[in-house]
A = this chain, B = another copy of it.
Amino acid sequence: MIRKPSILVTNDDGIHAPGIFALWEAMREMGDVTVVAPDTEKSAVGHAITISDPIRIQKVTRHDGFEGFAVKGTPADCVKIAVRALMDTQPDIVISGINLGANVGNNIIYSGTVSAATEGTMLNIPSLAVSLDAIKGGDLNPAKKVAVRVVRKILQKGLPTGTLLNVNVPNVPMNKIRGFKITRQGNVYFKDWFETREDPRGRLYYWMTGEIVDPNNGPGFDSHAIQSGFVSITPIHYQLTNMPFLNELETWDFRDLD
């Protein structure tokens, strides 16, 4: 395209997270960037939207040149309000990240990072989520380069209606990335339990905690790719019907209501 692409950048770690700064740096070399992100961390909010409270927006301008809009809301709110209220025209692409921590397997349904890309997809904008497999930080440079490459490809090729790309980058130096794998969503999940504590007034409260469990998925799955040093790219859609089971369900007899 002749004009520069319009790129909407968001995340779920909040507008002051290092990952969104890295993404802003990477994207502004290729397009006109608008940053609209939650004012504070919104991890694990899934596809929440804010309908019972008003949404407030604060302009952010920093000395390092970074500019954006901080939204008192969820990642999905950010994309909605950016497209519907803040931007003059629909962006060419929505990119969410760079999340610190992989978004793979079952866990993607809890992911605010992925939900922002989902919201872009719902608004008929090609969208992607980018995550780095490093919860406590890591080198963001490889993920920046990967993001640029995938965005270029999407701008060139487009994406099918209702489908986003979920990109996960292994936490290794650039020269150790072995390439790209197109993958399926695997079965990694968070096996959780609750730690019970007593407050000074003797009342109980609970902290959710747990550990990531990765049933052995083998080649072809998202987590296997990143563990093997590849960038994982999974095409995700929101047609949730279990079609193979639909036929069996047809044979169940629900008719005889009391």
Contact = CB atoms under 8 A, between A and B. Distances in A.
Contact of A118 (B43, B109, B231): B109
Interface stretch (A1-9, A15-23, A31-39, A190-198): A190-198
Copies in the complex: 2
A32 to B, nearest CB: 21
Contacts of A54: 197, 205-207
Interface in A23-66: 41, 43-52, 54-57
A131 B84 CA distance: 29
Interface in A121-152: 122, 145-146, 148-150
Interface string A214-258: 000000000000000001011111111111011001101111011
Contacts of A205: 54-56
Interface centre among A44, A109, A148, A242 (most CB of B within 10 A): A242
Contacts of A115: 46
Interface string A55-93: 111000000000000000010110011001100000000
A206 B55 contact: yes
B49 A110 contact: yes
B246 A194 contact: no
A118 B197 CA distance: 28
A96 interface: no
Given A81-B194, A235-B245, 15 more contacts: A46-B48, A46-B49, A48-B48, A49-B110, A50-B208, A76-B110, A81-B208, A84-B194, A109-B238, A148-B258, A160-B242, A163-B245, A174-B257, A235-B242, A238-B240
Leading 5 A-B pairs by shortest Cβ distance: A46-B47, A180-B254, A46-B46, A237-B242, A54-B205
